[in-house]
Amino acid sequence: MGVSRIVSRSLVAAAAVLATALVPLAPRAAATPPESPEDTATTRPEISMLDLRVTPGDRTKDSKAAILRCDPAGGTHPRATVACEQLAAVHGEFESLRAGKAKPMCPLVYRPVTVTATGTWKNSPVRYSQTYSNACEMRAYTGKVFAL
């Protein structure tokens, strides 16, 4: 018998002894209840952090920006608590901020304003952009979320 064969058999025997010794330490499937979705959801904290921007027309140098962090509310957003509440009410779906609202009474002046949001809401990626006819329309449809 060659040396390599002896070494190989020795390693297999050692692995078998080690595996036998560790079997009592392994948890039994029947004794441990399966993890529920709630258990796995609580192990990873939900992160909600958004970079919000308001750009008048195409003048990016005049943009206003803020960081909105939720749970707990904070960041550089001036009305973080209210903005987080409004987003939580629509489950972080920016398109739904406008849903159900009647057309606002705003002046018929076309001064476009583009709002953008990038980041995460409850660990889900967010990429949102919308252009409104003017700042009045933007405020009427987005509430305090883009009130920078």
| String of DSSP letters for 83-133 | HHHHHHHTTT-GGGGSTTPPPP---S----EEEEEEEEETTEEEEEEEEES
Q: What is the pLDDT of residues 4-22, one digit of tens each?
A: 555 455 544 554 444 444 4
Cβ proximity of 53 and 67 under 8 Å? no
What pTM was computed for the model?
0.67
Q: In whole angstroms, what is the distance from residue 98 CA to residue 140 CA?
A: 8
What is the structure's pLDDT at 10? Answer: 52
Q: In whole angstroms, what is the distance from residue 22 CA to residue 91 CA?
A: 47
Q: What is the pLDDT of residues 22-56, one digit of tens each?
A: 445 444 444 455 555 555 555 678 899 999 999 99
Element holding 50 (H helix, E strand):
strand 48-56
